[in-house]
């Protein structure tokens, strides 16, 4: 049973990391604009995030401390304040896009506007955090997240050419629209290799009291959870390529793509799309709101824990409450959630090297990892991820203006 709960944490992490406004939005646009040519950022990002999640879980299991806690102790507050601020800003930005995405899902299913639904969605997230436990959130969202398998079913039913799909796993420069191609590739990588996934997963492992006995399960969780998310995210690209691209639909909002599942599921396709978007955004919003509280509490040395009564962890609960209040503002201003999401994904990659760089130093420190420090394969992989993060950080802003 304990092993199954760990797998649930992996699926929850992947639901929030892959199957949310950022990943669904970028995948829909990529498939509509370039068909299968942008499958490779998801594949590359899945490998990267699996390495990072495994490391953060291993660190938590061996040291019994979170990544943020150790980073503060290892490098000092004067250094740690920079990754803290970078991730705080990005988490708030992405949280706003997730609240908007959840509100848009409700609009698609029941009518109204995102202004009407934004506050109820934020209150739902707050209530789940305030009144339930980490395990309830973890298992509930992981179970609901299985609805996103409708994209996998649609992929099978639509029957894409396997050779065309496989060719999309190899990076190639496009013959036209290079700026948009680069913009979407960066956005997809940003949506996949999200820094908050690493810190959230680390904190969740400590919440569940992982130990060195859980290291094998941690590897399985990282692999299964991230592969689940990657598979579904690729399916969104493929379905978009087969349904939206032939119709010449370039989705500039989630409304434009709402009929993407209709050829397979008929009228019910709209509700499956809305449910997938809504559940993914709900899972991501829960992760992000919790991660903001984890970041603040672990940086400033507060007591923290989702399983504690809010009255016992007042500052922890106040942080996610304040974050949710701020996050509904863009939706109340009727800012389109897909546009907000695309901007958020580009800025996410800027925080990536700032957060991940120090992690590599920690993962090679026997003071915290004992005999479980990184091997040479993992070090090479993480070095490549940091280099990739620096490159993405440099090109993200120019591509944001050139490609959007």
DSSP codes of every residue in 106-158:
HHHHH-S-HHHHHHHHHHHHHHHHHHS-HHHHHHHHHHHGGGGGHHHHHHHHH
In a domain, 388, yes or no: yes
Please give the structure tokens belonging to residue 207: 């919440």
Q: Would the pLDDT of 371 be above 50?
A: yes
In a domain, 292, yes or no: no
Q: Would the pLDDT of 57 be above 80?
A: yes
pLDDT confidence of residue 16? 47
Please give the structure tokens belonging to residue 32: 């509509």
Where is mean pLDDT largest: 9-23, 133-147, 151-165?
A: 151-165
In a domain, 276, yes or no: no
Which residue range(s) make up the domain with 159?
A: 2-93+130-257+339-403
Q: Would the pLDDT of 296 be above 80?
A: yes
Q: Would the pLDDT of 102 be above 90?
A: yes
**Rounded distance between C-alpha atoms, residue 265 and residue 153, angstroms:** 10
pLDDT confidence of residue 2? 52
For 173: left if phi > 0, alpha if psi spans -120 to 50, otherwise beta; the answer is beta
In a domain, 175, yes or no: yes
- Residue scoring higher pLDDT (266 or 337): 266
In a domain, 117, yes or no: no
What tens digit of pLDDT does each residue of 10-38 get? 555 555 456 778 888 889 999 999 999 99
Q: Would the pLDDT of 87 be above 60?
A: yes
- Closest listed residue to residue 103, CA positions, set 339, 258, 342, 334: 334
What is the phi/psi pair of residue 313, to 5°? -125, 60
In a domain, 135, yes or no: yes
pLDDT confidence of residue 226? 81
In a domain, 298, yes or no: no
Q: What is the mean pLDDT of the chain?
A: 86
Looking at the 3D structure of the chain, how many domains does it have?
A: 1
Predicted structure pTM score: 0.89
pLDDT confidence of residue 349? 75
pLDDT classification of 186: cutoffs 50, 70, 90: confident
In a domain, 263, yes or no: no
């Amino acid at each position: 049973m304990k092993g199954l709960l760990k797998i649930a944490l992996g699926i929850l992490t992947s639901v929030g990391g892959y199957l949310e406004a950022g990943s669904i939005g970028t995948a829909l646009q990529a498939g509509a604009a370039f068909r299968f040519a942008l499958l490779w950022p998801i594949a590359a990002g899945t490998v990267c995030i699996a390495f990072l999640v495994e490391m953060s879980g291993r660190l938590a299991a061996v040291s019994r401390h979170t990544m943020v806690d150790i980073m503060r102790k290892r490098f000092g507050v004067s250094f740690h304040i920079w990754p803290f601020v970078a991730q705080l800003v990005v988490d708030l930005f992405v949280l706003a896009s997730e609240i908007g995405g959840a509100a848009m899902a409700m609009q698609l299913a029941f009518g109204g506007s995102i202004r009407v639904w934004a506050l109820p969605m934020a209150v739902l997230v707050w209530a789940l955090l305030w009144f339930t436990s980490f395990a309830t959130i973890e298992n509930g969202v992981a179970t609901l997240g299985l609805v996103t398998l409708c994209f996998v079913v649609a992929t099978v039913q639509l029957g894409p050419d396997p050779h065309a799909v496989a060719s999309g796993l190899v990076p190639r420069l496009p013959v036209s629209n290079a700026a948009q191609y680069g913009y979407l590739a960066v956005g997809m990588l940003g949506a996949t290799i999200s820094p908050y996934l690493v810190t959230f997963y680390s904190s969740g492992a400590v919440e569940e009291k992982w130990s060195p006995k859980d290291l094998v399960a941690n590897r399985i969780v990282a692999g299964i959870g991230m592969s689940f998310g990657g598979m579904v995210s690729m399916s969104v690209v493929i379905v978009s390529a087969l349904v939206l691209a032939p119709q010449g639909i370039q989705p500039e909002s989630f409304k434009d793509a709402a009929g993407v599942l209709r050829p397979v599921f008929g009228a019910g396709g709209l509700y499956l799309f809305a449910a997938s978007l809504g559940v993914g955004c709900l899972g991501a919003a829960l992760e992000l709101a919790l991660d903001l509280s984890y970041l603040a509490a672990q940086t400033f040395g507060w007591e923290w824990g989702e399983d504690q009564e809010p009255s016992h962890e007042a500052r922890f609960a106040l942080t996610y409450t304040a974050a949710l209040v701020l996050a509904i503002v863009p939706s109340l201003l009727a800012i389109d959630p897909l546009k907000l999401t695309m901007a958020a994904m580009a800025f996410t990659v800027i925080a990536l090297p700032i957060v991940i760089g120090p992690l590599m130093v920690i993962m090679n420190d026997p003071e915290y990892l004992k005999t479980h420090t990184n091997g040479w394969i993992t070090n090479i992989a993480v070095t490549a991820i940091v280099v990739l993060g620096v490159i993405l950080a440099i090109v993200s802003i120019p591509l944001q203006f050139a490609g959007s």
